[in-house]
Amino acid sequence: METNSAEKKGKAVSVREIIEKNKNTRNLANITEKVMPNFLLLIAIISILTTIGIVFTLLTETVEFFKRVPFVEFFTGTVLKPLSQNPQFGVLPLLTGTIISSVIAMFVAIPIGLMTAIYLSEYASDKVRRTLKPLLEILAGIPTIVYGFFAFTFVTPILREFIPGLEPTNILSPGIVMGIMIIPMVASLSEDAMSSVPNAMREGALALGSTRLEVTGKVVIPAAISGIIASFVLGISRAIGETMIVTIASGSSKNFTFDITQSMQTMTAYIVEVTGGDAPAGSTIYYSLYAVAMTLFIFTFIMNLIARYISRRFREEY
């Protein structure tokens, strides 16, 4: 009898210990549940405040610049000579260089990236897709400064063999290399959009007698058009914001021209030049840095808004 009572007491003690442990674990879980939402909210607020701080800094310094240089002169001027005795701050040479380099990049990236996406989505086997897609995305991991030296030391000499009038620094070479850099983005996003199209649509078109190419062109691409176009727009915004490739390979000549064989400067390259130069704080050229940066910010912001609009407007739910 004494042995049974001792066993019962031991079991009661162990049950109490288990209950106490469960209570402590439950209390810790409750505390974690209360703390984590606040912690995550704080992280989100930090991100928002950082964005607000960047925009506020750009706006305040840009306003100071436009107190010294007329708004119309900045956006319509075709001459940019910030260091001359009579400085001129027309942004059109930078806008032209940025747009031309981005257009050249997209002429390279869109066809190659789209055809790559079509192959990976519609023709490649699972084994080939699992092998090729990671290899393709390695291009996205190469530092842009490496692309810049590649454009300057390899692509430009080759192009000069075929285009004798091509200058050592020009806008064509960095535009092509930027297109190569953007291929993984266009190909990956487009392939994801095409892969999301249900197989039932493909099988139905094939059952009606369509070829694989007809299914791709008349069924898959129209169904995935929102994601494909969004990848194009995001690629353009990536090209607009590229810095090191154009800084190294396109030169620093602020020419207002549409001749792609000439040396030109983009907005990002100008920002690098000013920040790395001898522009004293508080000078007009110093504030022009923020005006150009604000223009670049608006460009990329508009591109992202267009991409979001296209994705929502033409999205197909399956």
CA distance 78 to 287: 19
Which of the listed residues 68, 103, 120 is the one where a domain comes to its end?
68
The pLDDT of residue 318 is above 60: no
- If one counts every other C-beta atom within 10 angstroms of the C-beta of residue 42, the result is 9
> What global pTM score does this model have?
0.81
Largest CA distance in the chain: 110
Asked if residue 152 is part of any domain, the answer here is: yes
Question: What is the residue-averaged pLDDT of the chain?
Answer: 82
Contact present, 182 and 235 (Cβ < 8 Å): yes
Which range in 95-104, 196-205, 274-283 is most confidently predicted, on average pLDDT? 95-104
28 and 112 together in one domain: no
CA distance 34 to 46: 19
250-295 per-position pLDDT tens digit: 887 888 888 888 888 888 888 888 877 667 777 888 888 888 989 8
The pLDDT of residue 107 is above 90: yes
26 and 101 together in one domain: no
171 and 60 together in one domain: no
Asked if residue 143 is part of any domain, the answer here is: yes
110-130 per-position pLDDT tens digit: 999 999 999 988 888 888 888
CA distance 203 to 198: 9
135 and 268 together in one domain: yes
The pLDDT of residue 15 is above 80: no
Looking at 9-13, 85-89, 144-148, 192-196, which range is the least confident one?
A: 9-13
Taking the CA atoms of 276, 277, 279 and 285 in sequence, report the sign of the dihedral they define: negative
44 and 113 together in one domain: no
The predicted pLDDT at position 236 comes to 86
Contact present, 88 and 285 (Cβ < 8 Å): no
The pLDDT of residue 64 is above 80: yes
Taking the CA atoms of 71, 74, 75 and 78 in sequence, report the sign of the dihedral they define: positive
The predicted pLDDT at position 166 comes to 84
Asked if residue 74 is part of any domain, the answer here is: no
Q: What percent of the chain has pLDDT over 90?
A: 10
28 and 167 together in one domain: no
Asked if residue 258 is part of any domain, the answer here is: yes
* CATH number of the domain bearing residue 101: 1.10.3720.10
172 and 63 together in one domain: no
- If one counts every other C-beta atom within 10 angstroms of the C-beta of residue 202, the result is 18
Asked if residue 293 is part of any domain, the answer here is: yes
183 and 50 together in one domain: no
CA distance 258 to 92: 11
Asked if residue 155 is part of any domain, the answer here is: yes
**3-class secondary structure, 268:** helix
Strand-pair partners of 81: 88
44 and 192 together in one domain: no
Task: Domain count for the chain, please give it.
Answer: 2
**3-class secondary structure, 305:** helix
**3-class secondary structure, 28:** helix
The pLDDT of residue 99 is above 70: yes
What are residue 210's phi and psi, to 5 degrees? -75, 150
Which range marks the domain in which residue 62 is found? 2-68
Contact present, 173 and 249 (Cβ < 8 Å): yes
Asked if residue 318 is part of any domain, the answer here is: no
135 and 237 together in one domain: yes
